[in-house]
Structure 1
């Protein structure tokens, strides 16, 4: 029986090649495979944040599975895949706990002036006469946009910190302990910290608009650990410079990698280079889930981690 042929999409996935070659024949997209090779591909291994062009899918008539190594799958045209009978899998909740840790870290780093305090001390600004006051976490109202695995993990951590918690998403989620706001604008208006943890798609691009940022206000903090395109980045920068927003703590950008010059003179922000879910442990879990999805698919079993039908 012939071994399945896998196409690996991005160079950042190159470390997976030895692992995948144990049970599959594997080719790499960056090596420029010809039409005949693409026509024989059974499954595509993809980094889900990258757009998957229709032309590439058209070149693979045998394709039956798109296996996103990552948890995110926003670069995949799910409607097109489903219309062609192509299954789509992803990393599930492999990095949810680590992203939640990072989100809490970003909040604390900004609210308690940890990054700014480090720079202040190193720059010789600490004197006996002056002491900077920061903001308590326990009294900060946290509004979470999107209550999936990451949102719930963040809420559980924030509850231990005695933060009042609310959330908003497009659908009710029975069984949650925290109240759902009537709208995104209402959540922003009633929060001290607005934390974006929802999945991204074309329908919610720029959902954190100038109006939502203004609702959060000059004392509010915006945290984004989801996808950069969910936030109107130009409006965010304008609001920070004008003082209409109190601060931002951002791990994801649009596009990536972001131009550092874009942020050089932007005040009151803490920035990290999309490292929220990039732990050794999470990557190991994603690799294991990828293998499980491939094994299940080619043995005719249900996928352990399919993309949800509502996505």
Structure 2
């Protein structure tokens, strides 16, 4: 066996093609040592990743193909030290994730998910739900202004929002919209959308101070990684009324979601599905296959990480 498949890829025909085209070992709880010695490539996803210990257990490992763009669950330092190539699937999921960011923003501002529960529970018979607020004319702050962040900017401008952002550096031509820190960004917007990478550099970046700056009328949207938000401080800010509401597709310890978040009626919660469209997942799967084929043929990867 030469390729370790850590999880099933969607749609089903992608996994079927992988099993038919490549020499695959499907992961079990423990990989026999004789198999581990032969693994040269691993197919994984952003959530599972490949830990330091798991990588050390694969001495022949040369390539990791990620079904997604998240790499915070992979030991990139070890990968660089060992010369292990890492490929992700950027670009093909950009539109789907950006659409989800807009959908969550609209759902929270217009109380769509809350209204659905309200009707199903028969509460409409006792009176109206109450008022939401329009996005037109409001300011959105985008934390992380890469491919996905820029696409979110385009979509939110299309519904009449003013766009601000923060990143490592200003984007040429958009300097006026740049804010130097997440705190400055939160102070200047009503909606804060997180599109930053996960990992140690951004762990807990959005803390209670930033949430208080966003304010009791503010909305936090996270379609990036749960680790970017200090989840405990988010709960405290919501319970204290320091933050208006949140729409979350990602959490700190997925799939476990704290009961304190579930209890918040105004929150919109989805199970890490920002890229979960048939179109995006098919394109992601094709890129995984194409990167594997390039690796096995001794060619350059199509979408390598610069380690």
- TM-score, normalized by length of structure 2? 0.92
* Aligned residue in 2 for 1:56: 54
CA contact (8 A) 1:240 1:268 kept: no
CA contact (8 A) 2:114 2:265 kept: no
CA distance in 1, matches of 2:37, 2:89: 26
Say how many residue pairs are matched: 306
CA contact (8 A) 2:136 2:161 kept: yes
Does 1:26 find its partner at 2:24? Answer: yes
Does 1:210 find its partner at 2:208? Answer: yes
* Aligned residue in 2 for 1:200: 198
* Aligned residue in 1 for 2:35: 37
Does 1:159 find its partner at 2:143? Answer: no
Moved more, 114-123 or 13-22: 13-22
Moved more, 159-168 or 10-19: 10-19
- TM-score, normalized by length of structure 1? 0.91
Q: CA 1:60/1:121 → structure 2, altered by over 3 Å: closer, same or farther?
A: closer
Structure 2 unaligned spans of 5+: none
1:1-311 mapped onto 2 (5 Å cutoff): 5-10=2-7, 15=12, 17-30=15-28, 32-126=30-124, 132-176=130-174, 179-259=177-257, 261-309=259-307
Spell out structure 1 runs of 4+ moving beyond 6 A: none
CA contact (8 A) 1:8 1:27 kept: yes
**TM-fit CA distance, 1:166:** 0.3
Q: CA 1:163/1:121 → structure 2, altered by over 3 Å: closer, same or farther?
A: same
CA distance in 2, matches of 1:7, 1:222: 37
**TM-fit CA distance, 1:152:** 1.1
**TM-fit CA distance, 1:99:** 1.0
CA contact (8 A) 1:165 1:178 kept: no
RCO comparison, higher one (Cα < 8 Å, 6+): 2
Cα RMSD, aligned residues only: 2.3
CA contact (8 A) 1:71 1:94 kept: no
| Secondary structure in 2 matching 1:204 | coil
**TM-fit CA distance, 1:8:** 1.2
| Secondary structure in 2 matching 1:284 | helix
Structure 1 unaligned spans of 5+: none
| Secondary structure in 2 matching 1:203 | coil
**TM-fit CA distance, 1:7:** 0.8
CA contact (8 A) 2:101 2:152 kept: yes
**TM-fit CA distance, 1:175:** 4.7
CA contact (8 A) 1:227 1:252 kept: yes
| Secondary structure in 1 matching 2:247 | strand
CA contact (8 A) 2:4 2:24 kept: yes
For residues 6-33 of structure 1, give each alpha carbon's deviation from its aligned partner in whole angstroms, at most 9, with x where no partner exists: 0112366895543223332110221633
**TM-fit CA distance, 1:181:** 0.3
Q: CA 1:13/1:53 → structure 2, altered by over 3 Å: closer, same or farther?
A: farther
